[in-house]
Chain A
Amino acid sequence: MITTAAVETSPRCGDCRHFQDAPAVLEASLPGFRSLGSAFGSVRATDGLCARHDRYLAAAFSCADHSPREP
C-alpha cells in the first residue's frame, strides 16, 4: 500500500521511457485486443504497457524505477 503524499510527488509512468501506449503497439502486444476491442477506443483512456515491470497500467501510475523519457 502507498501513501497519497508519495504518489502525489512521484513522476507519472506516462512520462517514463519504459511506458509504451501507442495503440498499434498495444494491439500487437496483447493478442486479440483488436478482435473484440480496440486500443483506439475511449475505454483505454491513457493506459499503456510498462516494459520495466511487464504490467498494463494507467499513465497516472508511478514507481521507484521511473526513468524520464528523452526530450
Chain B
Amino acid sequence: MSNTLEPTANAGSGAAASATPPSFWRELLVKEDWWAIWIGLGLVAVAALLASHGSSLKWLAVAPTKWSHPSEAIAQFTAHVPQYFALYGLWIVLFGIGATALGFGVGGFLASFTLVYVVSIGLYFLGQWDQAAHYNLEPPLLALILGLLVSNSVGVPTWANGGLRVEFYIKTGIVLLGAGVPLALLAWAGPVAIVQAAIVSVVTFGVIYFTAVRLGLDKRLAATLGTGGAVCGVSGAIATAGAVGARREDASIAISLVIFWAIVTVFLLPLASRALGLPTGVAGAWIGTSEFADAAGLAAAQTYGGYAGHVPGIAGSADAAVNAFTLMKVIGRDVWIGVWAFVLSIVATTRWTATGVQAKPDAGEIWRRFPKFVLGFLVASAIVSLLASGADYAVYKKTIQPSVVAPLQALRTWAFIFAFLSIGLTTRIRDFFKVGGAPFYAFTAGVVVNLALGYVLSTQVFVGFWTALGQ
C-alpha cells in the first residue's frame, strides 16, 4: 500500500518519468477520462445486453427510496444489505482497477473508497427522507459540507488520495448520464446550448481578461483567470496555463479562485433559483452557464432537481435540471477547452512579452486537450437511443426505462455522491486566502457578469427551450 504523495513509483504511469507524449493506445490506459469511459460504457453495455435477454441491473443498482420515519429507513436498509454489499463490490472492482491503472496504491484506495461508500449510503438515505427538501438536506450539498468540515478540521491523510477522485467519479457519472439523454434531445437542444455558452464564455473571458490587464496583472495570468471563469473552471485554467506557459503561481491563483467561487455558487444558484421559482430545466441551464466546474455544477443541478415535486411552485422534472446543466456545461463549454488553449498559445507566442520559455503552438493540442469523457457520454446516449429506436413510447416506458435507464440512473447518482463528498474532502479553505486583491477583483467581475448574463439568457432569451426540456 502506498501512503506517500506519489501514488506509486511512476505516478500516473507513462506520463511520469518522461514527458514524451503517450501513444494513443497508451493514453487509453493512463488517462482518467478513458477509464471513466470504460467503466461507464461497460455498465451501459451490460445493462443493454441484460435487457435484450429479459434481465436487468436492477438488483445490483440498489438505491434508497422515500421514507418518513427512521425505522422505515432502517428496515429498508436491512432488507437490502446483500445488494449494498454487491454494489460496493462492483464499485471497488471498477474504480479500483481504474485507480490502480492511474498509479494509486490498492490499499489506500480500498480504505478511502470504503469510507466514501459508507458515508455516501448515509447521505443517500438522508436525502430520501420525505422532509429533506423542507430542511434543505439535499445529499449533494450535505456531502459537500460534511467533506469540507472534515478536511478543514481533522484533515485528510495523503494515503486517501486514491479514493477521493472527484473528476474520476464525476466523469463516470456523466458517461452514465448519457444513457438517459436521447440523441434526439442532444440534436434539438445542443445547438442552443452551444450558442448560449459561446455568448457567455466570450463575454466572461473578456471581462476577466481586460479587468485583470487593467489592474496591472500579467497577460498570462489574465488569460488563465479568464478561461477558468469562462470555459471550464480548473480544467480550463490549467489548460490555458500550460498552453501559454504561465507562472506556477498564476495557475495556483486561478485554481483557488475557481474553487472559491464554485463553492459559493453551488449554494447560491439553487437558492436563488428556488427563490425565483424557476422551472428545473431553466435553473439547470443557468447553473450550467454560470457554474465554474462540472462537479460543483452537478451538485447544484442535482440539488435543484431534488426540489421538483417536493417544493411548491417548482415546475419540471428532476432530471431536467441535470440534463440542462450537462448540455450547457459539457456540450456548450467543456468541449471547447482545446480551442481556447490553442488560440491563446498563438496569441501568447506572437503578441505577448517573451518569458524565457518558448511555446510551439500546435493544432493537435485541440484533440489532446479534448475532454474525452464527453465521447463516452455521446456513445452512451447513442446506445440507448438505438435500443429505443424500434420501440414506441409506451414500450419504452414499460421496458427500456425500468430495465436499462433507471438502473443506470441509480448508478450515476452513486457516482455523483462519491464525487460531491470528495470535493469537500479535497478542498482546503486556507488556500483561498493566498490569491491577492487584483486577481480576486478581476475574477469576481467576471463572476458577476457571468451570473447576470447566464440568468438573462436562461430565463429570457432561450427560456422556451429550457422550459420545454423539463416537460
Q: Which residues of A contact B (CB under 8 A)?
A: 1-2, 6-8, 10, 12-15, 19, 21-25, 27-50, 53-65, 69
What is the interface size of chain B, counting residues whose CB is below 8 A from a CB of the partner? 81
Binds A, one of B132-140, B159-167, B390-398: B159-167
Interface readout for B246-264 with A: 1 if CB under 8 Å, 0 if not?
1111111001101100100
Please report the C-alpha to C-alpha distance between residue A6 and residue B254 in the assembled complex, in whole angstroms.
31
B91 to chain A: which residues have CB within 8 Å?
Answer: none
B360 to chain A: which residues have CB within 8 Å?
Answer: 7-8, 60-62
Contact B166 A35 (CB under 8 A): yes
Contact A55 B357 (CB under 8 A): yes
Contact B362 A60 (CB under 8 A): yes
B349 to chain A: which residues have CB within 8 Å?
Answer: 1-2
B5, B248, B351 — most chain A CB neighbours (10 Å): B248
B351 to chain A: which residues have CB within 8 Å?
Answer: 1
A55 to chain B: which residues have CB within 8 Å?
Answer: 245-248, 355, 357
B20 CB, min distance to chain A CBs, angstroms: 6
Instruction: Say yes or no: A12-B19 contact (C-beta < 8 A), given A30-B251, A34-B161, A43-B238.
Output: yes
Partner of B18, one of A14, A30, A44, A45: A14
Instruction: Say yes or no: A42-B166 contact (C-beta < 8 A), given A56-B248, A57-B245.
Output: no
B6 to chain A: which residues have CB within 8 Å?
Answer: 22, 24-25
Partner of B235, one of A2, A37, A49: A37
A23 to chain B: which residues have CB within 8 Å?
Answer: 7, 11-12, 15-16, 102-103
| Chain A residue with the shortest CB-CB distance to B359 | A61
Please report the C-alpha to C-alpha distance between residue A1 and residue B426 in the assembled complex, in whole angstroms.
39
Partner of A13, one of B15, B19, B33, B369: B19
B295 within 8 A of A: yes
Number of A-B residue pairs at CB separation under 8 A: 225
Contact B234 A32 (CB under 8 A): yes
| Chain B residue with the shortest CB-CB distance to A59 | B19
Contact A33 B16 (CB under 8 A): no
Please report the C-alpha to C-alpha distance between residue A50 and residue B242 in the assembled complex, in whole angstroms.
11
Partner of A30, one of B232, B255, B372: B255
A22 CB, min distance to chain B CBs, angstroms: 4
B295 to chain A: which residues have CB within 8 Å?
Answer: 36
B329 CB, min distance to chain A CBs, angstroms: 13
- Contacting residues of chain B (218-257) with chain A, CB-CB under 8 angstroms: 232-239, 241-243, 245-252, 255-256
Please report the C-alpha to C-alpha distance between residue A12 and residue B33 in the assembled complex, in whole angstroms.
26
B370 within 8 A of A: yes
Please report the C-alpha to C-alpha distance between residue A31 and residue B249 in the assembled complex, in whole angstroms.
10
Contact A44 B242 (CB under 8 A): yes
| Chain B residue with the shortest CB-CB distance to A41 | B32
Please report the C-alpha to C-alpha distance between residue A25 and residue B158 in the assembled complex, in whole angstroms.
12
Contact A61 B357 (CB under 8 A): yes
Instruction: Say yes or no: A22-B12 contact (C-beta < 8 A), given A36-B233, A43-B337.
Output: yes
B11, B237, B258 — most chain A CB neighbours (10 Å): B11
B274 within 8 A of A: no
Please report the C-alpha to C-alpha distance between residue A57 and residue B251 in the assembled complex, in whole angstroms.
10
Contact B33 A42 (CB under 8 A): yes
B10 to chain A: which residues have CB within 8 Å?
Answer: 22
Instruction: Say yes or no: A33-B234 contact (C-beta < 8 A), given A7-B360, A42-B372, A57-B357.
Output: yes
Partner of A36, one of B241, B262, B369: B262
Query: Can you report 26 residue pairs joining A to B where beta carbons are below 8 Å apart?
Result: A6-B358, A7-B358, A21-B15, A21-B16, A22-B15, A23-B7, A24-B11, A27-B161, A30-B248, A32-B255, A34-B426, A36-B295, A36-B427, A37-B167, A42-B34, A42-B368, A42-B369, A43-B337, A45-B21, A46-B19, A53-B356, A56-B250, A57-B359, A58-B242, A61-B357, A65-B356
B27 to chain A: which residues have CB within 8 Å?
Answer: 42
Instruction: Say yes or no: A31-B428 contact (C-beta < 8 A), given A22-B16, A37-B234, A40-B167.
Output: yes
B288 to chain A: which residues have CB within 8 Å?
Answer: none
A46 to chain B: which residues have CB within 8 Å?
Answer: 15, 19, 21, 368
Contact B357 A50 (CB under 8 A): yes
| Chain A residue with the shortest CB-CB distance to B15 | A21
B161 CB, min distance to chain A CBs, angstroms: 7
A43 to chain B: which residues have CB within 8 Å?
Answer: 232, 235-236, 238-239, 337, 369-371
Contact A37 B293 (CB under 8 A): yes
Contact A41 B357 (CB under 8 A): no
5 more CB-based (< 8 A) A-B contacts, given A2-B349, A40-B165, A60-B360? A7-B359, A23-B7, A34-B164, A56-B247, A69-B18
A36 CB, min distance to chain B CBs, angstroms: 4
A69 CB, min distance to chain B CBs, angstroms: 7
Q: Which 8 A-B pairs have the closest CB atoms?
A: A14-B19, A37-B234, A47-B242, A23-B12, A22-B11, A38-B167, A59-B19, A36-B293
Contact B32 A38 (CB under 8 A): yes
B31 within 8 A of A: yes
Instruction: Say yes or no: A40-B246 contact (C-beta < 8 A), given A1-B349, A60-B360.
Output: no
